[in-house]
Amino acid sequence: MRSCFCPRPFRRWSLPVVLCLLLAAMPLHARHIVDMAGKKVSLPDTITKVAAVSPPGTYLIYAIDPALLAGINFPLYDSEKKYTVPAYRHLPVIGGMAGQGRTLNREVLLQVKPDFMIHWAWREDAPNDKFVQSMAGMPFPLVNVRLGSVLLYPEALRFVGDITDRQERGETLSRYAQKVLDEAKALVAAIPEEKKVRVYYAEGTDGLSTERAASLHAELIPLAGGVNVHRGEELDHYGMEKISMEQLLLYDPEVILVKEKTFYDTVYADARWQNLKAVKDKRVYLIPYEPFNWFDRPPSFMRLLGIKWLINLLYPDRYPVDMVAETRSFYQLFLGVELTEAQAGEVLNR
């Protein structure tokens, strides 16, 4: 029979005392949750630090409480530093699984020791499965949060608020998100199909990359009542499909939404674009991007404000909202940042 070794100092103590000491030395995992992918996860009773494997999850944690963040995924752009709380700008870089060739820095992760990690499984494929398997050896629970569509944000905000013991905060942001989506749905339902504005989403430095109508990268267009001129199902998860100038001239959109400022700064002077209705009518708009893009890449809670911005651009008579006031209110609520009217105007590219 196998014997049980008990160190000499412990032999003077009773079994209940020894068990209590052993239990006290073990990490507490008092809470058991079911994440948004239906997986059961054990979490520490007290949550003080959280990390995410990609920017959308990091931004979600920021919205709930930036003090919870254990690290950021990649070095910040200047635009990301401008309208965020000071502590966010000095967090360690933990890496991330988003983008080609990017990985988590396991050494930094072990140093910052998050209580759990948020995993946004935006695709079901071999690389994602491999990543999940690689994380199995890490001493941090992995919590799946569904963020594939802006429509999921009311649930995601409430869920993360709940598991981090910020229930009131999560509920407040969730109600805001649901109200935005409900208002947009009601407004769009009242617009006859033949009166919906035709929109082109211009990506890349030449403006000739775009997303198909069914792509989640461009989901704000239909949610705001627009019609994406580049029809069809997405070809892959990455998007940014190249089209020709000839094809764009055939589309002749009424509104062009621009992602890259370098392209926006030249579009009105480029002779190739001057035959388009949107250019003639001065309806080419640079998508706001401070501190995070309001439309896409990477997707975040900023898309909630992006819906308001886009409806106001497409249908100013139907939705005559004061976007400067809306922007100031949103930044205070979600980012913890007070904007002046001038700063809000700057963010809106006015």
pLDDT of residue 130: 65
Flag residues of the chain having pLDDT under 70: 1-30, 98-102, 121-132, 134, 136, 236-237
Strands 241-242 and 209-210 come out as antiparallel
Whether 172 and 178 have beta carbons less than 8 Å apart is answered as: no
Q: In Å, how far from its chain's centre is CA 122?
A: 11
Strands 284-286 and 241-242 come out as unpaired
Going from the N-terminus, what domains does the chain have, and what CATH number goes with each?
24-151 (3.40.50.1980), 191-347 (3.40.50.1980)
pTM (2 d.p.): 0.88
Length of the chain: 350
Report pLDDT digits (tens) over 129-179. Answer: 666 676 767 889 999 999 989 999 999 999 999 999 999 999 999 999 999
Tokens of 320: 């005559």
Query: What residue has token string 């699984």?
Result: 97
pLDDT of residue 121: 60
Phi, psi of 40 (to 5 degrees): -80, 130
Dihedral sign computed on CA atoms, order 316, 318, 320, 326: negative
Whether 310 and 226 have beta carbons less than 8 Å apart is answered as: yes
Round to whole Å and give the CA distance between 76 and 78: 6
pLDDT of residue 157: 98
pLDDT of residue 283: 98
Query: What is the Cα gyration radius of the chain?
Result: 24
